[in-house]
Each structure stands twice: as C-alpha cells, then as structure tokens.
Amino acid sequence: MLGNISKLNLVRIGSDITYSSLKKIKSGILVAFRGIIREISLSHHDSPVVDSIDAQLLTMILDEEYGGHTLGITDADLKTQDEDEFYNSILGGKNPRNDVAVVSTKKLIPSTIRSDQEYERFIERTLKVSLHEVGHNFGLTDHASYKHAGDGSLCPMSRGEFNKFGYHGYIKIIIDGRGLTFCDECTDFLARVYGHTHTSKKLLKDTLVVSSN
C-alpha cells in the first residue's frame, strides 16, 4: 500500500517530451485520479543517454533518488528479463517492491512528427500508458478483455493481447482505443479504497485544454 497517496513525483528522463507537455500529462493524471492525487511535483532526472535500460533497475534508481509515489517517463526502451524477445521490451511497468512505475516513449513516439496533431497524439498515448501504470500503483489490475468505460472507450487498465497485434498494431488498437477515464469496476475500487471522485469526460477535456494554453 502506498505511503503518501496524495502526492506523486512525475519525473522526465530524456528529451522526447517538452516541459509544457509534461504539465499536460500532470493535469490528465490529476483529473483521472481526482480526490486521490492532490499534488504532483515535476522533475527532470539527468542521466546518461542510453537506448535502453532495465525497467526494474530504473524504478530502483528513481526510488532511491525521489522516494515515495513516483512515475518516471523515459525515452529509453524499457527492458525486462523475459526470455521471449517479444516480451522483454515493455511500454511501462511497476515495481511491486516499491511505489515506483515507469513509462517508455520509445515505441509511442512516431519516427517523424510532421504536425501538431501527431505530437498531441503522442502525448495522449503517453498519458494513457501513464494512467495504466499509476493505476497499478493504486492496486488496479489489468483487464485481459476489452473493458469499456462509460464513454465507450477502453478503460485505461485494458491490456488486451500483445502478440495478437504486434507492438505497432497494439498501440493503434489498444493504446489509442483507451480513454482517459476508468470503467465502473476500477472506479468503484478506487472509491472504496481511496475515496476516488468520479471524473466526467467533459471535466477531463476541459482541464487538458486549459493546461495546453
């Protein structure tokens, strides 16, 4: 169980995401976990430029550096010890031994960004994966099936099947298909355990628009 559930350290590692976009992700997390997370501190973690890093090692580094409830967003590929090459690279992960989760933008960012719309889609994808990993920190589990929220989009905790689509297809179908609000099952759990306040889709959209101005 999390110690101080009301504060989250949001740490940028790398340069894929601008500081203003990090603030937008912060706003999205605050709204999605309204009534639970009340404060998010933004930090930039200076580290050697690497193409990939062990996911568990990164969570341990962030835990030692920041402590408490922390989400790290890195542009390095996150690696695991899985023997299957397909599963030893992940979009995000949570260390069960601490309160740290990490997200990789490596597979989320387009090879080239030609428009503001493409960049905004990249930031939205990063936010959706962030909601999934922060959800794990609060005890939410993956939906193996395609669980929908009230607005018809997939719940952020919907995991689906990696090997059915491959990473490119998975991002298009599962990540892009996820919404920014949780399904009734997840919302009820968060309300029962943490006193989560239901967030409307309109409130979330309004908050994200304000944060981008």
Tell me the longest C-alpha to C-alpha distance in the chain: 45
Q: Which pLDDT value is given to residue 81?
A: 81
> What's the angle, vertex CA 168, arms to CA 116 and CA 159, rounded to 5?
100
DSSP assignment, residue 15? Answer: S
Q: Which pLDDT value is given to residue 144?
A: 86
Q: Where are the domains of the chain?
A: 7-205
Q: Which pLDDT value is given to residue 87?
A: 62
Low-confidence ranges of the chain (pLDDT < 50): 207, 210-213
Question: Which tens digit of pLDDT belongs to each residue from 162-206?
Answer: 667 778 889 999 999 999 999 999 999 999 999 866 655 555 555
Which of the following CATH numbers is that of domain 7-205: 3.50.50.60, 3.30.1490.20, 3.30.565.10, 3.40.390.10?
A: 3.40.390.10
DSSP assignment, residue 104? Answer: E
For the record, the structure tokens of 103 come out as: 């997200």
